[in-house]
């Protein structure tokens, strides 16, 4: 594998439902299909085996291209914690680790999402190049999850997602 470095993205969200409801949206294939990546009608495949050592897969079809994301569950501690790998094979062998920590706070729940991002380096990159790439990876990854978490919030709080026209 090429040279890489690691950087971390952490995001926090509050949901007006118990942690178990958010956990279910991460682990139930039919719920995953509704919010993970883009939207239910573009997600062609959503499968998982939500046990430690089990795998998950989403295939999203946009603009005539299939985008495949796969991973393995490392830890599942209902309703508090999910640790899983995350990889998009079409973009390389880099594998990230995603941690979802959930905590009930009264009638609400708080989700702390962390992604340990693997950043590939090109040959002869300087430290400045590496730092720039790490910042760009974090920014683009955060933007993608931001939109997914808006859908996740709608799904767990209302039972449906209002997709833009």
- Give the total number of structural domains in the chain: 1
- What average pLDDT values come out for the chain (165 residues) when binned by 10 residues? 87 98 96 87 91 96 92 97 96 94 97 97 93 96 95 94 69
Q: Which two tokens stand for residue 63?
A: 């603009």
Cα–Cα distance for residue pair 54/85, rounded to 1 Å: 11
For 162, what's the count of Cα atoms within 13 Å in the CB-facing half-sphere? Answer: 3
Residue labelled with tokens 């569950």: 73
Confidence (pLDDT) at 2:
64
* Phi, psi dihedrals of residue 120, rounded to the nearest 5°: -75, 145
Is the pTM above the cut of 0.85? yes
Is 64 inside any structural domain?
A: yes
Confidence (pLDDT) at 136:
96
Q: In what side-by-side order are the strands of the sheet with 65-77?
A: 4-15, 108-120, 96-105, 81-86, 65-77, 55-62, 43-48
Confidence (pLDDT) at 27:
97
Residue numbers of the domain that contains 28: 4-158
Is 32 inside any structural domain?
A: yes
Confidence (pLDDT) at 71:
97
Is 163 inside any structural domain?
A: no
Is 164 inside any structural domain?
A: no
Is 129 inside any structural domain?
A: yes
The enclosing domain of 46 has a CATH number of 3.30.530.20
Is 36 inside any structural domain?
A: yes
């Amino acid at each position: 594998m090429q040279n890489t470095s690691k950087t971390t993205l952490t995001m926090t969200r509050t949901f007006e439902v118990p942690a178990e409801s958010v956990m279910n949206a991460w682990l139930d294939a039919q719920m995953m299909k509704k919010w993970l990546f883009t939207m239910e009608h573009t997600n062609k495949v959503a499968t998982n085996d939500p046990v430690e050592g089990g795998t998950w897969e989403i295939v999203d079809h946009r603009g005539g291209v299939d985008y495949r994301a796969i991973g393995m569950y490392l830890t599942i501690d209902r309703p508090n914690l999910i640790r899983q790998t995350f990889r998009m094979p079409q973009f390389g062998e880099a594998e990230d680790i995603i941690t979802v920590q959930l905590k009930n706070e009264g009638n609400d729940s708080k989700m702390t999402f962390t992604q340990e991002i693997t950043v590939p380096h090109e040959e002869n990159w300087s430290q400045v190049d590496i730092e720039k790439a790490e910042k760009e990876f974090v920014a683009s990854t955060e933007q993608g999850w931001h939109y997914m978490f808006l859908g996740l919030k709608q799904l767990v709080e209302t039972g449906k997602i209002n997709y833009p026209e």
